Amino acid sequence: MKIVEVKHPLVKHKIGLMREYDISTKRFRELAAEVGSLLTYEATADLETERATVEGWCGPVEVDQLKGKKITIVPILRAGLGMIEGVLEHLPSARISVVGVYRDEETLKPVPYFQKLASNIEERMALVVDPMLATGGSMIATLDLLMLSCTPPLSINTLMRRATLCRVWVTRATRYLVPNKIQPAKSLSQ
């Protein structure tokens, strides 16, 4: 699995604004959408294109168009919903799939509780969005759910595909985790 840390100054700035203690819900949502847009731009930079001929204003013209699988955007409920608007700015015809995962407070394991996947999910590239990647449990549970939906016979190859087919774009990698939980920044200064 490849992890890409996006270090663009606009992303850093917006993440900094999102971390303000007294940020309003409205402002947080606006910033989440903006970060979603910027991350989508970065995450789609290496999509394949192919040449096509379209009718231009002065006759036929050759252009580049996206090639390959169609895309589905998969927000992890509920926080991932805030990023959809920004993602759709770049991928307006993408189908939306939704996955709900919560963490069992006793076992600390992720528990999937809802899924509504786009039709023909096995023919689509999934762009999973979630603004917070702490222990990674919800993301792994979502990837497992998507892999099970796309790969009928389960085998060691399924696990290998998850590891090799996935790329993760993050805005900031921090190591402020205590066993199985994120450590709030406020208590780190104490």
φ and ψ at 116, to 5 degrees? -140, 100
Whole-model pTM over 0.85: no
Q: What is the pLDDT along the chain (190 residues), one digit of tens a residue?
A: 677 888 899 999 999 999 899 999 999 999 999 999 999 999 898 889 999 999 999 999 999 999 877 899 999 998 889 899 999 999 999 999 999 998 888 988 899 999 999 998 888 888 888 887 777 788 888 888 888 887 555 444 555 555 566 777 777 665 555 555 555 444 333 3
Pick the CATH number of 2-173 from 3.40.50.2020, 1.10.1060.10, 1.10.580.10, 3.40.50.510: 3.40.50.2020
Residues 6+ apart with CB under 8 A from 108: 137, 180, 181
CA distance 100 to 35: 21
